[in-house]
Amino acid sequence: MPPTQRSYVFIAVCILLTLYFIFAAAVQYNDPDPVHWMLLYLTSALGCVLAALGKDRAGLLYALVGMAAIEMAMTGEGFITWLRVGNENLITAKMTAEKPYIELGREFLGAAISLAVALWQLRRLRQRRGV
């Protein structure tokens, strides 16, 4: 679809999300389990690039939904623990061995952002196709 038929605001949002996901992947290098997080974020970035270009791929987005859901299931307990007992700001709090829920909560939110973006793009793709 040519840019005149796509919203320039949508394209700008996709570019900003692409940059966010590339940054999120880059900061995973020192994480104890970087590979699957980098893969999630780089796949999210790819989904955003394709959406901006009007070349969305439903299969990629469904895979991304599955990847994000798995990550959220793996880190959900830590996020729930933070909701129950955490009184720190999840973004700025220092991670410690005594409070593993801080890292898990951050990971949960990162996966939730990927999931939300993928679902948004799938909904938009389905609307565009008239499904």
**Residue labelled with tokens 């990550």:** 71
From CA 102, how far away is CA 96, in angstroms rounded? Answer: 8
pLDDT of residue 131: 63
Tens digits of pLDDT across the chain (131 residues): 455 556 899 999 999 999 999 999 999 988 888 999 999 999 999 999 999 999 989 999 999 999 999 999 999 999 999 999 988 888 888 888 888 899 899 999 999 999 999 999 999 988 888 76
Quote the pTM value.
Answer: 0.89
Angle between helices 100-129 and 8-26 (to 10 degrees): 150
- Give the burial string for 73-107 (b: 16+ CB within 10 Å, else e): eebbebbebbeeebeeebeebeeeeebebbbbbbb
